[in-house]
Amino acid sequence: MPVLRQDESYLIGTAQAIKALEKKDKAYVLVISDSHGDYDRFYALLEAYGSKLDALIFCGDGSFDLVGIIEAMANESPDSPLPDKILPPVIAFVRGNGDAESYSYTYKGKNEVIIAPQAQNLTICGKKIFVAHGHKYSVDFGLDYAVEIAEKLGLDYFFYGHTHIPREKKLKNTWFINPGSCSRPRGGFPPTCALLKLYKDEKEAACHFYEIKENRFGNVDLKPMKI
């Protein structure tokens, strides 16, 4: 069972898992944003693809949904295979403009608190990654401020949400990626997410966007799409 507690870095996972992710030769990462209370869809995505992931990045506005999933997995029996199927070893998430500063949940019969940070730094396969919801960086009006921050921090990737519109663009030396909204899309797009394959020895990741479609069995399928 994955450790469902927050590290001092605000990442969810063990220090060992976080360090291992930094040095992996390759990693598979799901990027989601703006679930806005659609717990069922968030859960269905992780149920379908969680076991394949090395990390999950959630860009805010729906942190309650993520914490709810973490609590559900924390209360599974110790021998249950479900937590390993649903949750990857490392989770990065940030506070959206519609999220609280912290959330409480039950873990092994005790009350735990998860802090929702405004921004999150992590390293995957040696790549410097920054996660923010985006409202503090004026992403509704462009990426100028985000580019300024990325240059100062020497980032390889800047993940954000807030606009509910999927986007991928390289500016200066940083890739700016918005997975869109998995629940309330805008701009004529369907519900979307992004899957990335990062490689230690390759400068740029393979980033693919997917339409989230519900199938007749009530589960979700991911349909590749261009943005």
Average pLDDT of the residues in 73-87:
88
Q: Is residue 2 part of a domain?
A: no
Q: How confident is the model at residue 74 (pLDDT cuts 50, 70, 90)?
A: confident
Q: Is residue 5 part of a domain?
A: no
Average pLDDT of the residues in 170-191:
97
Q: Is residue 62 part of a domain?
A: yes
In the chain, how many domains are there? 1
Asked whether 179 and 212 are in contact (CB, 8 A), the reply is: no
Q: Is residue 9 part of a domain?
A: no
Q: What is the pTM of this model?
A: 0.96
* Spatial distance between the Cα atoms of 114 and 54, rounded to a whole number of angstroms: 21
Q: What is the pLDDT of residue 142?
A: 96
Q: Is residue 41 part of a domain?
A: yes
Query: What are the backbone angles phi and psi of residue 62, rounded to the nearest 5°?
Result: 135, 15
- Structural domain that includes position 76: 15-225
Average pLDDT of the residues in 61-67:
97
Q: Is residue 6 part of a domain?
A: no
Q: Cβ contacts of residue 216 below 8 Å, gap of 6+? A: none
Q: Is residue 79 part of a domain?
A: yes
Q: How confident is the model at residue 216 (pLDDT cuts 50, 70, 90)?
A: confident
Average pLDDT of the residues in 20-30:
98
Q: Quick count: other Cβ atoms within 10 Å of Cβ 105?
A: 19
Residue 92 has pLDDT above 80, yes or no: yes
Average pLDDT of the residues in 167-195:
97
Q: Is residue 10 part of a domain?
A: no
Q: How confident is the model at residue 2 (pLDDT cuts 50, 70, 90)?
A: low
Task: Provide the residue type at 136 as one letter.
Answer: K
Query: What are the backbone angles phi and psi of residue 209, rounded to the nearest 5°?
Result: -100, 145
Q: What is the pLDDT of residue 3?
A: 59
Provide the pairing of β-strand 102-107 with 110-115: antiparallel
CATH number for the domain spanning 172: value is: 3.60.21.10
